[in-house]
A and B are shown apart, each in its own frame.
Chain A
Amino acid sequence: MVAQGIPEIGAYIAFLFVSTVALVIVLRLFITPKDPRPTPEKKKPFESGQIAAGPGRTRFIIQYYPYLLMFVVYDVVAMFLFAWGLNLRALGASGSVPVLVFIVVLLIPLGYALHLANHRENW
């Protein structure tokens, strides 16, 4: 019934197996034995075998900033289109005119923003 072709007892055995494995993993996370051989290098951040230089959370340069700004605006715009697309058959051609105008009006600044964002000096 649940999985056609697989007898239910087999499915239960599989469930028991997987849940046992999951339980072992969760217990393994919480029951951690005391470190038998602590060394100062063991807990250092990994930097390809070199000794880690400087703090791990330094200030990184956020590149590609124009793309991030565009994302903030146009992700929301894309959401607005879902309400229109869902009711497209009911709205028909006449009801879609405001949405099409909305798309065209927003595409023009998108093109200009892309023109700016694709220039390396603005990254």
Chain B
Amino acid sequence: MITSPLFLQIVLFPGLTSIAIIGALLGWLERKVTARVQLRIGPLYASPAGGILQMFADLIKLAFKELIVPENSDAFFFIMAPTTGLVLGAALVGLIPFAPGLQIANIEVGLPAFLAIITLSPTLILLAGWSANSKFPFIGGLRALFQQTAYEIPLWLSALGVIMMAGTMNLAQIVAAQSTGWFIIPQALGALIFLVTSVAEMERLPFDLPEAESEIMMGWQAEYPGVLFLAAQGPGFVKLYAFSALFTTIFLGGFLGPSFLPPLFWMLSKTLIVIVLIMLLRSTFPRVRLDQLLRAGWTTLLTLAIINIGITYILVVGLPTL
């Protein structure tokens, strides 16, 4: 059992170990990329290679901090919500095909399952904000809920375009359907909507309203001390990794690429490009207001998503050979 391929995939790659290490490395990469954009240096001292061990040093620091659970808070949900968020992020990565056969759960409804699992995340944020018995976390939790109503439907409808093109919801078969051409070309509009709404789903700038450290003091994370703060921050990076891998899988041809390098290389390098793109959005755009996000999600993004479905319908039914 210890050497069975599925067990190795779950504990090593693409499973738990690699998720934890990649999540920590993404934290370092984000600080480095943001620093480079802002003409700073960023983490430097935690290793000879440009502070690449900075997040591990932070982990050790946070592990020794005192755990303060605020008075009159619901301690069970206060601790449960961020740790469940970590499990959700890991479950997302398990659905992604990283190479032929290198996929933990190859299920028929892979794409809707991914989006359905991520739907739980704003609920957990609301739970965390409510249980802390403090005002800023509660406002942050409510904002997460409003934000979900703005991006959820365009996100699902932009994924629907891919399903219409591929005729399947299985992620491995969606990759196989792109052997004649990546879906980002016929689905350019859908890919754009998917990118914007997934950034909103990850609660990253310019849509980080539930955290919004300059308005509501990190929002739902305000009361989290030490290790729990790490557990609250961690899912963000794991979700960034999982969503970039999903974007690569359904729009950029997944692990397909010239055969002189292994499929895993193509998958990971395309994922890295998408990750850096999303990180650059963070340092480029200012934060939107909640009513701007709601209006944009319900008018612009939803209209574009419906137009995209119309284009896809014409492509699939009008040009069946494509």
Contact = CB atoms under 8 A, between A and B. Distances in A.
Interface in A64-107: 64, 67-68, 70-71, 74-75, 78-79, 81-82, 85-89, 92-93, 96, 103, 107
A48 B153 CA distance: 36
A29 interface: yes
Contact of B142 (A44, A60, A70, A123): A60
Contacts of B79: 29
A108 interface: no
Interface of B is mostly: helix
A86 B227 contact: no
Nearest to A110: B302
Contacts of A86: 163-164, 167-169
A51 interface: no
B70 interface: yes
Interface residues of B, number: 70
Contacts of B136: 46-47
Interface stretch (B16-24, B200-208, B245-253): B16-24
B8 A89 contact: no
B313 interface: yes
A56 B133 contact: yes
Contacts of B317: 88, 92-93, 96
A52 B8 contact: no
Given A4-B262, A29-B227, A88 B313 contact: yes
A25 B61 CA distance: 12
Contacts of B5: 1-2
Interface centre among A35, A70, A74, A82 (most CB of B within 10 A): A82
A107 to B, nearest CB: 7
B311 interface: no
Contacts of B228: 29
Nearest to B166: A86
B58 interface: no
Interface residues of A, number: 60
B316 interface: yes
Interface centre among B21, B66, B298, B299 (most CB of A within 10 A): B298
Interface in B133-188: 133-136, 138-139, 142, 146, 149-150, 152-153, 156-157, 160-161, 163-164, 167-169
B40 interface: no
Given A75-B152, A89-B167, A56 B134 contact: yes
Interface centre among A1, A18, A19, A107 (most CB of B within 10 A): A18
B71 A44 contact: yes
Contact of A29 (B67, B112, B291, B298): B67
Contact of B156 (A4, A68, A78, A118): A78
Contacts of B132: 45, 56
Contacts of A12: 12
Given A57-B138, A62-B142, A70-B149, 13 more contacts: A2-B5, A15-B17, A28-B226, A35-B66, A47-B134, A52-B134, A52-B135, A64-B146, A67-B149, A71-B152, A81-B157, A96-B313, A107-B306
25 contacts: A2-B8, A3-B264, A14-B18, A18-B16, A18-B20, A18-B21, A19-B17, A21-B59, A28-B227, A29-B79, A32-B67, A35-B66, A45-B134, A46-B222, A56-B132, A57-B138, A58-B135, A60-B139, A67-B146, A68-B149, A70-B149, A78-B156, A85-B160, A86-B163, A88-B167
Interface of B: 5, 8-9, 11-13, 16-18, 20-21, 59, 63, 66-73, 79, 99, 112, 130, 132-136, 138-139, 142, 146, 149-150, 152-153, 156-157, 160-161, 163-164, 167-169, 217, 222-223, 226-228, 230-231, 262, 264, 290-291, 294-295, 298-299, 302, 306, 309, 313, 316-317, 320
**Closest 3 A/B residue pairs (Cβ):** A45-B134, A56-B133, A71-B149
